[in-house]
Amino acid sequence: MKIHPTAVVDSGAKIGTNVEIGPHAYVGPAVVIGDDCVIGHGCHIEGRVTMGSNNILGPYAVLGTAPQDLKYHGQNTELTIGDDNVFREFVTVNIGTVTGNGATRIGNRNYLMIASHVGHDCVLENNVILVNAVLLGGHCHVETGAQMTGAAAANPFVTIGKYAYIGGLTRIIHDVPPFMKVEGNPSRVRGVNEIGLQRAGYDRAVIEELWEAYKAIYRTKELNRSVIYDKIESNPNARSEVICLVRFLRRSRDSVHGRYLEGSQKA
């Protein structure tokens, strides 16, 4: 371990091997830090935080602080973090609440840029990118490969589908369908996240079929989308990605305010 003499590391903290902790950082008594992590200058980690290996915290990142929720009264909730994540300068992540799942969860290989915020009870899967100043309200779920660009903000209980792309300054109040590009205020689906899917290694044939599904759903005079969904799902050759898109849209349509999670948890 390499711990700067001005850092404060509680004797109860569990620190892995080859960990660096920079000047004026604080690590609380219930914190577990895995191997090969770098904790930057002035970082603050408190509460029940369990962190995997090879995570990098830029200066003044703050992890594990109490939820910004008036219903929280010091309950023993937590923040769990996987491996190979980057938390840049001034990123903040809160622990969970008992009205959620009791935990905020961050998976592997996520990149949280400067001043982004992850609220209580959020779930970030893997390979998620939050660009500068992105804000996630409590109970949000961001699926694998999704990307939110600068200063986009998500309402509590929003689900952002896998490999979705959200443009800068976008206000997200409804679930964002997987594989799509969303932008604006109010936000609208603008097309398929073609570049993101190419970078993720999706075949051209998959991308083309998603475009066809997008046109059928969003460029039609048919007002009853169930008819469109039924037609797409009845195709025995429909790819799994298209079926995933349709099922996501059905679930959100039938939920409270277009936010599936809001109907399944207490607000």
pLDDT in tens, 16-40: 999 999 999 999 999 999 999 999 9
Measured distance CA(158)–CA(74) in Å, rounded: 25
Side by side, the strands of the sheet bearing 44-45 are: 8-9, 26-27, 44-45, 62-65, 92-94, 117-118, 135-136, 153-154, 171-172
Q: pLDDT of 33-59, one tens digit each? A: 999 999 999 999 999 999 999 999 999
* Domain ranges in the chain with CATH number 1.20.1180: 201-263
Across the range 156-185, mean pLDDT stands at: 97
pLDDT at 212 over 60: yes
- Mean pLDDT value across the chain: 96
Of 265 and 133, more confident: 133
Measured distance CA(98)–CA(17) in Å, rounded: 33
Class of domain 201-263: mainly alpha
pLDDT of the residue at 49: 98
Measured distance CA(210)–CA(223) in Å, rounded: 20
Has 120 been annotated as catalytic?
yes
Tell me which of 41, 44, 117, 120 is the catalytic residue: 120
Across the range 111-128, mean pLDDT stands at: 98
Measured distance CA(46)–CA(48) in Å, rounded: 7
pLDDT of the residue at 265: 57
Tell me which of 22, 34, 58, 138 is the catalytic residue: 138
Across the range 165-180, mean pLDDT stands at: 98
Tell me which of 47, 58, 121, 141 is the catalytic residue: 121
247 dihedral zone (left: phi>0; alpha: psi -120 to 50; beta): alpha
**CB-based contact 79:62 (threshold 8 Å):** no
* Domain ranges in the chain with CATH number 2.160.10.10: 2-197
Please name the CATH architecture into which domain 2-197 falls.
3 Solenoid (2.160)
Q: Which element (helix H / strand E) includes 48? A: strand 48-51
Residue 85 burial (10 A CB sphere; 0-12, 13-18, 19+): buried
pLDDT at 157 over 90: yes
Radius of gyration of the chain (CA): 20
pLDDT of the residue at 223: 78
Q: What number of other Cβ atoms are within 10 A of residue 197's Cβ?
A: 20
Has 175 been annotated as catalytic?
no
Q: State whether the Cα torsion 93-95-98-100 is positive or negative.
A: positive
Q: Kindly indicate the confidence band of residue 171, based on its pLDDT and cuts at 50, 70 and 90.
A: very high
Instruction: Tell whether omega for the bond before 186 is within 30 degrees of 0, i.e. cis.
Output: yes
pLDDT of the residue at 1: 85
Q: State whether the Cα torsion 233-237-243-249 is positive or negative.
A: negative
Across the range 118-123, mean pLDDT stands at: 98
Of 108 and 257, more confident: 108
Q: pLDDT of 136-145, one tens digit each? A: 999 999 999 9
Measured distance CA(60)–CA(58) in Å, rounded: 6
